Chain A
Amino acid sequence: MRTAHIFTISAALFLSPLLAPAATPSPSPTPQPDVWPLPPLEYFIEHLPAPPRATSYRDRLDLSDAIARQASMTPAQMAQAQKSYAFNVFYFSDIMDPKFTAKNYPKTAAFSLLAGQAAWDIVRA
């Protein structure tokens, strides 16, 4: 669940500058937390429902489900899961360009790292 939070927030943080109107002047080179276009809290409550009550039957089913899925995963699926866990913007190199790497785009890598750290701060808050 926490990985899903990070994935969602990191993607939102990274994509938000791309979605802004081109004519809008940027008052500061560093985006400030109060202008990040994050959805309201209700959005996350609706889309990330509360987990089942601890030790309840639903909780046991949830755990059994996760174990069953792990047991049936192929090596390729496992590799993809590992890749998703260590998410950063270069995750999309598969579909953008094999040359889209942190080594070739150090400034993007630095920004992605910053966005990821900011996302962790939000999750921990």
Chain B
Amino acid sequence: MTALRKPDLIELDDYLATEASAPVKSEYLAGEVYAMAGCTAVHNQLSLSFAGLLLAHLKGKPCRTFISDMKVKLRYDGEDTIYYPDVMVDCSGLAPDAVLATDPTVVAEVLSQSTERTDRREKWFLYRNIPALEEYVLIDQIRPEVTVFRRSAHWSAELLAVPDAVLDIPSIGFRCTVGDIYAGVPLPGEKPVTGGRNSA
């Protein structure tokens, strides 16, 4: 017997077909579609900064870095969800024409006022159900602060709140300081943070 979906819910295939040409990106959660708000300059800069560090580190290695336009698909409790992580590392060998990933090793989200609750609760819960995922990283855009959740630590939080604190992502052999991520990125109401290894 096949369960009937509510008529106002959208099938995953229909969402994916529409999303391919949609002018505004949307995330998909169990048949419901949520349009994504545009991001701020600092959000964009932090995503790019962290992705750049990962990109440089992973050059010549099998894992690859993706940024904000690449979807990740996950399934929990019989429902499909599609998110657009701000930064993602995939080591599963995605095809060049792939439109979504299902087995990312690292996912990072830059926190904003409108998404922080979702990033800290809903996504923290759903991402950890991806078997391949080893680290989930949250990057604050108000202050130089990074939180990392690791599978190896049962997804408990490690807070890195000073520029010299080291973000360690052992699944891909990556290390950087908090200052590296925030180097040259002016935060709201603050002077640019310097002091990272790459800021000299």
Interface residues of A (CB under 8 A from B): 49, 56-58, 60-62, 64-65, 68, 72
Q: Chain B contacts of A65 at CB under 8 A?
A: 121-122, 124-125
- For the complex, is B126 an interface residue (Cβ under 8 Å from A)? yes
Taking a contact as CB atoms closer than 8 A, the residue among B30, B31, B77, B125 that contacts A68 in the complex is: B125
Output the least CB separation between B19 and chain A (Å): 19
Which of chain B's residues has its CB closest to A77's CB?
B156
Q: Point out the residue from A49, A57, A64, A68 that lies within 8 Å of B117, measured CB to CB.
A: A49
B positions within 8 Å CB-CB of A: 29-32, 76-77, 79, 117, 121-122, 124-126, 154-156
**Structural contact, B32 and A61, CB atoms closer than 8 A:** no
Q: Are B155 and A62 in contact (CB under 8 A)?
A: no
Contacts of A49 in B (CB 8 A): 117
11 A-B pairs whose Cβ atoms sit less than 8 Å apart in the complex: A49-B117, A56-B32, A57-B30, A57-B32, A58-B30, A60-B77, A61-B76, A61-B122, A68-B125, A72-B154, A72-B156
Partner of B29, one of A58, A64, A68, A72: A58
A72-B155, A72-B156 known; A62-B121 Cβ under 8 A: yes
Instruction: Please determine whether A62 and B77 come into contact, CB atoms closer than 8 angstroms.
Output: no
> Given B32, B125, B155, B156, which contacts A64 in the complex, CB threshold below 8 Å?
B125
CB closest chain-A residue, reference B156: A72
Nearest B residue to A47 via CB reads B113
Closest to B154 in A: A72
A62-B122 in contact given A49-B117, A57-B30, A57-B32 (Cβ < 8 Å): yes
Q: Quote the shortest CB–CB distance from A106 to chain B (angstroms).
A: 37
Q: Which of A49, A56, A58, A61 has the most CB of B within 10 A?
A: A61
Point out the residues of chain A lying under 8 angstroms from B122, CB to CB: 58, 61-62, 65
Give 6 closest A-B pairs by Cβ, nearest first: A57-B30, A65-B125, A65-B121, A61-B122, A57-B79, A72-B154
B9: nearest residue on chain A (CB-CB)?
Answer: A57
Q: Which residue of B lies closest to A61 (CB)?
A: B122
Report the separation of the CA atoms of residues A85 and B124 in the bound assembly, to the nearest whole angstrom.
24
Contacts of A60 in B (CB 8 A): 77
